[in-house]
Structure 1
Amino acid sequence: MTTVSNPLLIGEGLPPFNDIKSDHIVPAIEQLLTELDAELSHLEAHFQPTWKGLVVPLNHIEERLRWSWGIIGHLMGVKNSPELRTAYETVQPQLVQFANKLSQSKALYEGFTKIRYSQEWDSFESAQKRIIESAIKDAELSGVALEGEKKERFNQIQLELAELSTKFSNNVLDSTKAFQLRLTTPEEIDGLPASLLSLSAQTARSEGDEDATPENGPWVITLDYPSYVPFLKFSNREDLREKVYRAFISRAGSGEFDNNPLITKILTLKREVAHILGYSNYAQVSLAKKMADSVESVEKLLEELRVVSYSAAQQELKELKEFAKIDNLNPWDVSYWAEKQRETKFNFTEEELRPYFSLNQVLEGLFGLAKRIFGIIITPADGNAPVWHEDVRYFQVANENNEVIAHFYLDAYSRPSEKRGGAWMDDCLGRAKFEQNGKIITRLPVAYLTCNQTPPIDDKPSLMTFGEVETLFHEFGHGLQHMLTVIDYSGASGINNVEWDAVELPSQFMENWCLEKNTLFGMAKHYETGETLPYHYYEKLLASKNYMSGSAMLRQLHFSFLDLELHSRYQPDGKETPHQVRDRIAQTTTVMIPLSEDQFLCGFGHIFAGGYSAGYYSYKWAEVLSADAFSAFEEVGLEDENSIAKVGRRFRDTVLALGGSLSPMEVFKQFRGRQPNTQPLLRHSGLLMV
């Protein structure tokens, strides 16, 4: 390998995070795009319409770009800084222009079409066929057929949308960061658990109160989830809960970080994109590459779930009001009284369980489960890869024969000053086979797993809530699909080329195991005494599993219907604002109408700064698949280790292994032997009486 002075131009292997600086970004991307532009022009003029003559060299161009730009995108999510943003925003327009040129290349499009109808087609594996068909579809959705002014306008919009998406995300991060509630008296912290007092004293120290302690304060509450969520649940001060709640729902809703104008602009531009491409709305563009075939079929599934969950949520709210003895419950009171009701009903608090879920023990249980059902062995490999923060871990994944098949990074803790909220999996390196110096090389997959859970505080390890445990299992499920793939073509390995509404299947499937007895007792051990979680807690967790599940499902359906409405029927130049659309949708999808000043949409990064535009329904769509998949294990009996392992291998060899080489429905049918149905999801949610 030749020595490269700019670490972002190495183009292969693990990213050298220790060496990468913000000022490497602009020269690296400018040089890379110049080189790739020349390569693309050469390819357009000289390719042969065959797999080896077109797909392989094009893949080389795409891989080099993905390697460098992927690192920068990753750092924007986990190590955001003003310098990084400036560099990112400087090169983003050039990157979008190159991406447009690549995806709108008529020569390459015609080449792919020729391959599709060539004699070579019959000899292809299914993965190769899917890659070709996908390339043709992508080109069409990227405006390959456009000419003249239409093409210019389309490309201008793509550029604007990329910039707006980045700005939206930064505004949410900045407005989240801008709010702090500093508490100094015992009255102000009444009801707060020890874990939150420790976290907020630690936050206070990082903000300059060097002598802050969990016992004496001061304590700083932020809008970051590990701080915000428990504060609303446990604070006995209704006035302070209201203050924090109102701050949260108004994030990025006004002032210098206002996302309102961006929302209107994004929706207007996406609608225009759809019209330019010949579709009547953006939802149709989005669904052109998903399992669901139309807005109507998505809404039919959502409505099936809504009817059941709406009446359940109404009943849940009625019972909550009766419990709290309050007729007009305010939104900042719901978490508080729900926690009190849950404690009364099931006789335990979420906080009591934290000591049993230290991160290391949870990982041990998770890795034990992966070995039991998928036959893989996961071991720490810290020190074998450069990391972007000292808390980041690195792990190795091996198969039954102890052959290394993958690696992953784990960035578990919340860092509100530089890391965006939420949790996600991203690919660092994808599995692929290619020729190098006359040899066939297999590149093994490497995943990024990112969470935002409670960090270690003082001398205590990261003690997780059960919800944080479920989030870790969820992201690990995405990671498994990326890491256990057996497909050697990068265009269809792992999560590549998997329809978006099926991509949540493995992640949501893994969440089901958190309450499976062997898995739970394998990981729930007290961090100080080593004592296993007492059995009565397991029974309580099981009993409380579906507490407020109607409300939880309805909440997801509310977001899904809203997203679809904004991207299909909403007219940006019509009489309604996006917030009024939300209020209208809320009439049938919420049992507590949002406050008039609720600016939820301004923080809805999934659809305005992520890939979920007209695709948020995917969580529910895939949850139907994942619940049905988990029921295959229930049917053979969760206590029967041999049968579990057998079904686990089948899941591994289909859902986790086949990536985008077949349609998700085909993969699901290979695993389950039939099409999916909604019954297991309703049963698991306690919304269907068996």
Structure 2
Amino acid sequence: MKKTAVFLMLATAAVLPGCKSQETAEDIKTSEEMTANVQNNPLMKKSGNKHGIESFDKITVNDYRDAANVGMRKEKERINAIVANTAAPTFENTINAMDKAGAELDRALMTFSPLSSSNSTAELRDLQKELSPLLSAHSDDIYMNRQLFDKVKKVYDEMDSTVLTHEQMKATEKIYKAFLRSGANLSDADQQKLRELNQKISALQIQFSQNLLAETNNTYVTVDRLSDLEGLPESNIQRAAQMAEEQGAKGKWMFNMQRASCNPVLQYCKNRELRRKVYEAYCNRGNQANDRNNKEISAELVRLRLERAHLMGFKTSAAQILDTRMAKTPEAVYNLLDQIWTPAVKKANEEIEDIRTEMKKDGLTCEPEGWDYMYYSERARKAKFNFDEEKLSEYLEINNVLKGVFYTANKLYGVTFKDVTAELPVYEKTANAWEVYDRDSTLLAVFYSDYYPRDGKGAGAWCTSFRGQQYDGDKRVEPIVVNVCSMTPPSADRPALQSIDNVETMFHEFGHALHSFMRDVHYNAVSGVERDFVELPSQINEHWAFAPEVLAVYAKHYKTGEPMPKELLDKYSSCSKYGQGFATVEYLAASYVDMDLHVLEDVPADLDVMAFEAQKLSERGIPRQIRPRYSVTNFKHTMGGGYTAGYYSYIWAEVLDCDAFDAFVETGDIFNQDVAARFRKYILTPGGIDDGMTMYRNFRGADPKIDGLLRKRGLK
């Protein structure tokens, strides 16, 4: 779904390798065996395919294993050479040498990681578990190497007196601080303890994610009678019948916990009991009495993260994590969330009154429950605004929506797209590929879209890469970027018609892709940005999704090809903020729980994460009909890693994206070329060569204001 995790990767894929100073006979034997495999391993020889893209169908699980192990070994050798170099440490022989040392390992992991998330198999999941401790130890070896740290520190201490570029100075600073955060200054005993904690945390995060994947794709609600599906669109009924047949239950209807499967039931199905079953099955993922239960894993992760924070000199996990983010402190995060919580709860309670009114029309006098919200909210929206989202979706066929996505990128930045699906290897038959060309016709990137749900694909949507932007000497090497989503697939009688949320998701994830296309840096160390800045490029791109100028290009009726009538667009515009109370509260609730768990200064031995969640939200006065967007046991963002103490990042970045979009609106032209050029120059291109707030001020000329966010969500 939208804003869920963008960049969903193997938990350990971002590590930088380390070194060991001793080699055993077994090490040498293993090295010889691996070297013998290089000739036949697609990941260990130059690809002959266009753009150097891997031949996905030729890569085996053993190829991934061998390539990762060879990559670690080669990096050890290069790191050892840096340490052994008797010349005075310089940027080139220390920082740049480290930055480039892991090319083979990066290649292996940047192929393995995306596929283990989108095309997961039992063998790939086993390999994730196998590699996790090795990669964790590999990272610790480098960052706890005091001899190496001494060299890095010398370059860092002297960089102001040397002739380094701004980018080189930032790369040096980031690598130096990475050593500090990773325990380079700890005693031998504490380093060993940190190694153990890192390995345990990494393994538990992978186990959590794999449990959740299984719960999402293999938890089903089965319906025996067609009459129980009253109100559900025919296309969804057909897909449910197909799912049942695939599961050996021909003649029945089944729904798993992928959003594309279960959300239409909650939104359209008249059968209240069926809605309850689906809602509870979705909310309780990871909290069932089975071998995929994530409660204890979550509690243990909270404990271990706090123990690691204490070891590093921080009072809480959140304090340690936020030290490198724009927010800097937990207090700054809570300050933002608190500003939005009160108006959001007020708006949500108004929406609940509308739901009560609609329920009374059905003769229901009971209090609304969570499984009533989407269904009766849709009814209330129709009653208030005479708007039917299903009618709107008839104009939102997925290929046309993608034309709108491409059109927006072209109007803003001048980029063009050439379909090369037939020319490039694809890892999934429903994926498509494009070459992306810049305004001056130079090749900018390669883009893959992977839009439909399937077994083995994680829930939600994300942007990842098979190759990041890099340089080979003076030549810029184009990135290979992938958008992975779980959109509504076609049915027997309809093409793939999308919901409003799905359309925004496509624009959102493509905003991440644009960021990856346009990044232009020379060092891996400065390729990334702060977690609470990374959603700015994606979220601002959503603002164009339903702009009339863009809809005129892509919103065509799937049968007639006629453009969306102004009357329907006006109805959507009038009600577009309806339901934002619920959406904002469920998002903020998850953000609060994420923070609350990670600001603990002491974790009870008997911590029950679900009871903790319920207590904290009750204290804040959350309406009883609303649960967090993710409960702890299915909260992959925080428990699977990546957005730990960081789920607030979406709303933090939304302050930025709404204020940034106002820069376009203020000119009277949402495609204003001067503003677009500034956004590209200061936000999309620089990677992490400056901190996020500096880049934002460079673009906007001022600090962001919260007003735009409150207006967008109808809270002001």
TM-score when normalising by structure 2? 0.90
Match of 1:664?
692
Q: Which amino acid aligns with 2:181?
A: L
Shift of 1:594: 6.6
Whether 1:428 aligns to 2:428 is no
Of residues 370, 380, 405, the one that matches 1:366 is 405
Q: Pick one of 377, 388, 412 that aligns with 1:338.
A: 377
Which of residues 67, 77, 82 in structure 2 aligns to 1:43? 82
Asked whether 1:603 is paired with 2:634, we answer yes
Which of 606, 613, 636 is matched with 2:667 structurally? 636
Deviations, residues 533-583 of structure 1 (Å, cap 9, x unaligned): 111111111112110212211222111111111001263226753223212
Q: Given the alignment of the two structures, is residue 107 of structure 1 paired with residue 147 of structure 2, yes or no?
A: yes
Which residue number corresponds to residue 703 of structure 2?
675
Say whether 1:389 aligns with 2:442.
no
Q: How does 1:234-633 map to 2 (within 5 A)?
A: 234-253=268-287, 254-325=289-360, 326-415=365-454, 417-435=455-473, 440-458=474-492, 460-493=494-527, 496=528, 498-569=529-600, 571-573=602-604, 577-587=608-618, 589=620, 591-593=622-624, 600-633=631-664
Measure the CA separation in 2 of the matches of 1:685 and 1:594: 20
Once the 2 structures are TM-superposed, how far is the Cα of residue 450 of structure 1 from its aligned partner? Answer: 0.7
Residue pair 2:396, 2:499 contacting (<8 A) in 1 also: yes
Q: Is the 8 A contact 2:637 2:644 kept in 1?
A: yes
The match for 1:7 is 42
Distance in 1, matches of 2:620 and 2:465, equals 35
Counterparts of 2:149 and 2:115, CA distance in 1: 33
- How far residue 340 of structure 1 moved from its aligned partner, in angstroms, is 1.0
Q: Distance in 1 between matches of 2:142 and 2:423?
A: 35
Give CA deviations for 1:578-615 in whole Å, capped at 9, x if unaligned.
22321222125564337999992110000000311111
- Give the Cα–Cα distance (whole angstroms) in 1 for the partners of residues 657 and 209 of structure 2: 29
Residue identity matched to 2:521: I
Pick which of 182-191 and 570-579 moved more. Answer: 570-579
How far the C-alpha of 1:449 sits from its partner, in A, is 0.9
Give the Cα–Cα distance (whole angstroms) in 2 for the partners of residues 121 and 130 of structure 1.
Answer: 14
Tell me the SS of whatever aligns to 2:210.
Answer: helix
**Counterpart in the other structure of 1:94:** 134
| Cα distance, 1:598–1:456 mapped onto 2, change above 3 Å | closer
Q: Which amino acid aligns with 1:675?
A: D
246-255 vs 621-630, greater mean Cα deviation = 246-255
Aligned-residue RMSD, C-alpha: 2.2
User: How far off its partner does 1:349 sit?
Assistant: 2.2
Q: Pick closer, same or farther for the CA change 1:599–1:59 going to 2, 3 Å.
A: closer
The corresponding residue for 2:213 is 173
TM-superposition CA deviations, 1:594-646 (whole Å, max 9, x none): 7999992110000000311111111111100000001111111137x5xx122
**8 Å Cα contact 1:429-1:445 kept in structure 2:** yes
Q: Could you tell me how far apart the structure 1 residues matched to 2:418 and 2:630 are?
A: 44
Helix, strand or coil for the counterpart of 2:562?
Answer: coil
Q: Tell me the SS of whatever aligns to 1:255.
A: coil
Q: Tell me by how many angstroms 1:111 deviates.
A: 2.0
1:29 aligns with 2:63: no
Cα separation, 2, equivalents of 1:590 and 1:125? 52
Match of 1:138 among 167, 178, 181: 178
Would you say the 8 A contact 1:11–1:68 is kept in 2?
A: no
User: CA-to-partner distance for each residue in 1:370-428, whole Å, 9 max, x for gaps?
Assistant: 1111111122121333121101111111111111111111111111x210001011122
For the 8 Å contact 1:48–1:54, the answer to whether it is kept is no
TM-score (norm 1): 0.93
C-alpha distance in 2 between matches for 1:599 and 1:476: 23
Contact 1:579 1:599 (8 Å CA) reproduced: no
The aligned counterpart of 1:159 is: 199
- Distance of aligned partners of 1:590 and 1:223 in 2 relative to their CA distance in 1, 3 Å threshold: farther
What is the aligned residue count? 670
Q: What is the SS of the residue equivalent to 2:485?
A: strand
- Aligned equivalents of 1:293, 1:390: Cα separation in 2: 44
Gaps of at least 5 residues in structure 2 are 1-36
Maintained 8 Å contact 1:320/1:337 = yes
Instruction: Report if the CA contact (8 A) 2:396-2:497 is conserved.
Output: yes
Question: Given the alignment, which residue of 106, 115, 124 partners 1:84?
Answer: 124
Counterpart contact for 2:285–2:634, Cα < 8 Å: yes
SS of residue in 1 equivalent to 2:495: coil
Distance 1:517 1:191 in 2: 30
- For 1:484 and 1:595, the matched residues in 2 are separated by 39
Q: Partners of 1:406 and 1:339 in 2: how far apart?
A: 40
Amino acid at match of 1:666: T
Structure 2 counterpart of 1:324, one-letter code: M
Quick one: percent identity of the two aligned structures? 29
Residues 174 and 526 of structure 2 are in contact (CA less than 8 Å); yes or no, is this contact kept in structure 1?
A: no
Q: Per-residue deviation at 1:434?
A: 3.1
CA contact (8 A) 2:319 2:329 kept: yes
- In structure 2, relative to structure 1, the CA distance for the partners of 1:410 and 1:466 (3 Å cut) is same
Q: Do the aligned partners of residues 352 and 626 (structure 1) sit closer, same or farther apart at CA in structure 2, a change above 3 Å counting? A: same
Which whole-Å CA distance do the structure 2 matches of 1:407 and 1:160 have between them? 37
What is the rounded CA distance, in whole Å, between the counterparts of 1:7 and 1:87 in structure 2? Answer: 18
* Superposed displacement of residue 292, structure 1: 1.0
Amino acid in structure 1 at the alignment position of 2:610: H
The 3-state SS of whatever aligns with 2:464 is strand
Of residues 654-663 and 621-630 in structure 1, the stretch that sits farther from structure 2 once superposed is 654-663
User: Aligned-pair distance for 1:92?
Assistant: 2.0
Say which is worse superposed, 118-127 or 478-487, in terms of deviation.
118-127
Instruction: Check the 8 A contact 1:375/1:649 in 2, yes or no.
Output: no
Structure 1 unaligned residues grouped into runs of 5+ = none
Following the alignment from structure 2 to structure 1, what is the Cα–Cα distance between the partners of residues 57 and 706?
48
The aligned residue for residue 21 of structure 2 is none
Shifted more, 484-493 versus 540-549: the winner is 484-493
For the structure 1 residues 264 and 63, does the alpha-carbon distance in structure 2 shift closer, same or farther, using more than 3 Å as the test?
same
User: Any conservation in 1 of the 2:526–2:688 contact (CA below 8 Å)?
Assistant: yes
Larger mean Cα displacement after TM superposition, 673-682 or 593-602: 593-602
Q: Is the 8 A contact 2:351 2:377 kept in 1?
A: no
Deviations 1:456-502 (A, max 9, x none): 22364322111101001111011111111232333323xx1x11111
Bigger mean CA offset, 147-156 vs 622-631:
147-156
Instruction: Please give the alpha-carbon distance, in whole angstroms, between the structure 2 residues aligned to 1:413 and 1:596.
Output: 27
Q: Larger deviation: 43-52 or 609-618?
A: 43-52
